[in-house]
Amino acid sequence: MNVQVMAHWFCGACDVEGRDHATEPSCWNCGGTVTVTARPTVPAEAAAADSAA
What is the binding site for Zn ion (CB under 5 A)? 11, 13-14, 27, 29-30
**Closer residue to Zn ion, CB minimum distance, 13 or 22:** 13
CA–CA dist 47, 42 (Å, integer): 7
CA–CA dist 51, 31 (Å, integer): 27
Smallest separation (angstroms) from Zn ion to the CB of 11: 3
Contact residues for 52 (Cβ-Cβ < 8 A; gap 6+): none
**Closer residue to Zn ion, CB minimum distance, 29 or 41:** 29
**Closer residue to Zn ion, CB minimum distance, 30 or 48:** 30
